[in-house]
Amino acid sequence: MKIQERTGAGAGRSAAPAGPAVGDRLPTPPRERKPALAALAVLLILVGALGATMLVLQVGDRIEVVKITEEIPAGQPVTDANTASVMVAEDPGIHYVEWTQLDALKKLKAKSTIPAGVVAVGEMFGEEAKVPEGKALVGLSLKDGQYPAGLENGDAVAAYRVGGTARSDSDTDSGSSGSTGGGGDTLLVDDARVNSVPAEQSGDIVSSTNKAVTLLVDKADAAVLTQAASNGEVALVLVPGN
């Protein structure tokens, strides 16, 4: 009887299921693959590389063009003194004037006043100048003493009515002119721009002819200035703004 009981107990133990061994990992489900995200990542990398390549190509594709270094009044051409070369990125949508075209550009005139510091483009120049809206160009014939020494294109000046014969006084160095006629001088135009004036040949030589000066003034001031100019009664002085 004892032998049978031990045999039965052993049979019961062998029939029980064996548990997992200590230290074994439980099986994990397979990871879900996302091919769409992988394709998007590859596409973004390609787009970034293409953009960087285009930037490098644009930076490397540069041309030498004309830059305006001094203000050019309307109707005046460019010169070696008021231009310089500068490198810019080529853009088919902008009509840059290349540095090799400077000699051809000198034959044209500024359509309107061109400020200093801008890059020249073809639309700024033409065969004739364009007078700005509300402005007028008035020509003067001035004797020595009726204009300050060193007068240049683009200078800001004021125009005064003086006597029939104008002379230089002690204020000539400061850019003013006096009159031998009686009475005080009358201000005609307080803010005009020299649009055209011949270059001085030498400061030691007194010209025997009058100097032709063209002023850009407000249209309302053109009539009175023209009348005084026809009588030789206009003198110019430099004013702040140059």
Model pLDDT for residues 28-64, shown as the tens digit of each residue: 666 666 777 778 888 888 888 887 777 665 555 789 9
Residue 86's pLDDT band (cuts 50, 70, 90): very high
* pLDDT above 60 for 172: no
Phi, psi of 5 (to 5 degrees): -65, -40
> How big is the chain, counted in residues?
242
- Distance, in Å, from the CA atom of 133 to the CA atom of 135, rounded to the nearest integer, reads 6
If we measure between CA atoms, which residue out of 194, 212, 100 comes closest to residue 151? Answer: 194
Positive or negative torsion for Cα 216, 218, 222, 228: negative
194 neighbors 215 (Cβ within 8 angstroms): yes
216 neighbors 130 (Cβ within 8 angstroms): no
- Work out the number of other CB atoms within 10 angstroms of the CB of residue 73: 24
Residue ranges, CATH 3.90.1210.10, the chain: 62-126
SS3 71: coil
Per-residue confidence (pLDDT) for residue 90, from 0 to 100: 86
Looking at the chain, which runs of residues are DSSP E strands? 62-68, 83-89, 109-110, 125-126, 135-142, 156-161, 166-167, 178-179, 186-196, 211-218, 234-238
- Distance, in Å, from the CA atom of 160 to the CA atom of 183, rounded to the nearest integer, reads 13
Per-residue confidence (pLDDT) for residue 66, from 0 to 100: 95
* pLDDT above 80 for 99: yes
CATH value of 62-126 in 3.40.50.300, 2.40.280.10, 3.90.1210.10, 3.90.550.10: 3.90.1210.10
Per-residue confidence (pLDDT) for residue 73, from 0 to 100: 81
- Work out the number of other CB atoms within 10 angstroms of the CB of residue 18: 6
